[in-house]
Structure 1
Amino acid sequence: MQERHNVHAHHHGGGSLRWATAKHALRCLIGCNIGEGTGAAIGFLLGWDMALTLALAVGLAFAVGYAFTMIPMLRTMPWKQAAKVTVIGDTASISAMEVTENLLAFMIPGFMMATLADAIFWLGLGIILPAGFAVSYPAMYWAMKREQQKKGGSMQQAHQHNHH
């Protein structure tokens, strides 16, 4: 199965990398927003000010985003490589996502004070989340392509050796 996957990736090149990148970027987006939402909820419930709440939310966005990206990667690569791809790809990816999402959140009138029952909250999420994905994808693609190229030489040699 693993060899078939490598053959597929070898023959279809960029397409499978783009699909893998999209999956990792989406997992990162989901993880980040779970972390950020949790941080925002904790800050709100504890009565913290906006700056402290935002700091907690962004910190949890990074932590949960890293976890959501790295854990599935462990199925296809060793821990050290998965950690490296995650930190390199996700740091740029999450940073771009957080800056974009938070700037948009502050720009949408009424969004920052909206509750789950307010239409502006859901409309805002419909704008913010796709924008976050759009800016995180290129950073994740760059990191994954970089890792693939680094290991590509040894993988191609092993691939050729297995077929001769």
Structure 2
Amino acid sequence: MDTNSWRTAITATLHCLTGCAVGEVLGMVLATWWGWGNAASIALAIGLAFFFGYLLTFTGVRRSGADVRTAVRAAVAADTVSILVMELVDNGFVLAVPGAIDAMLTDALFWVSLGASLAIAFVVTVPVNRWMIARGLGHAAVHHLHAGHAAHEGHAAHEGHAGHETHMHH
């Protein structure tokens, strides 16, 4: 079993989880502040989860020397499926727990259900990310850029490039 691909999948999923958590909490804060209903609150939280998930990857790729266009493409390729799976599981869980959707930021139920839903989403999303990475998809593209070689595509399947210090130059 390739432990590197599992490590890469876990790192990628934690990255995603961070963006999703920030988006969920900020969405709840804003929706409560603006007096929005549940459907609008969920839509805002999902939109912000995608935004912050993409932003974290985009920032990392930009830091490694990629141009804006390449960084945007890498973030979308790396995170779309991951965030989608995470948000489906996360919001599905919150909708399934009685009262969780109506819990406010001051309610323990909000934080408990958010924590539990993100934990479950993490467990579900790691194997999805690993499957994609093993096929040179998703976060393999980001590690491909971090490794600083865009020339030969087949190398993306050999993840574990996180330790490389070379960067892509334009």
Same fold (TM over 0.5): yes
Q: What is the identity percentage for the equivalent residue pairs of Structure 1 and Structure 2? A: 32
In structure 1, what is the equivalent of residue 101 of structure 2?
112
Unaligned runs of 5+ in 1: 1-12, 156-164
In structure 2, what is the equivalent of residue 86 of structure 1?
75
How many residues are matched?
142
1:120-131 map, 5 Å: 120-131=109-120
Distance 2:45 2:123 in 1: 20
Judging changes above 3 Å, is the alpha-carbon distance between structure 1 residues 119 and 40 closer, same or farther for their aligned structure 2 residues? Answer: closer
1:1-164 map, 5 Å: 14-74=2-62, 78-79=66-67, 82-145=71-134, 146=136, 147=141, 150-152=153-155
Judging changes above 3 Å, is the alpha-carbon distance between structure 1 residues 136 and 70 closer, same or farther for their aligned structure 2 residues? Answer: farther
Counterpart secondary structure, 1:112: helix
How much does 1:36 deviate? 2.0
Q: Judge conservation of contact 2:28–2:105 (CA < 8 Å) in 1.
A: no
Note the aligned Cα RMSD (angstroms): 2.7
Counterpart secondary structure, 1:29: helix
Unaligned runs of 5+ in 2: 145-151, 159-170
Which protein has the bigger helix share? 1
How much does 1:66 deviate? 0.9
Structure number with larger C-alpha Rg: 1
Q: TM-score, normalised by structure 2?
A: 0.69
Distance 2:74 2:123 in 1: 19
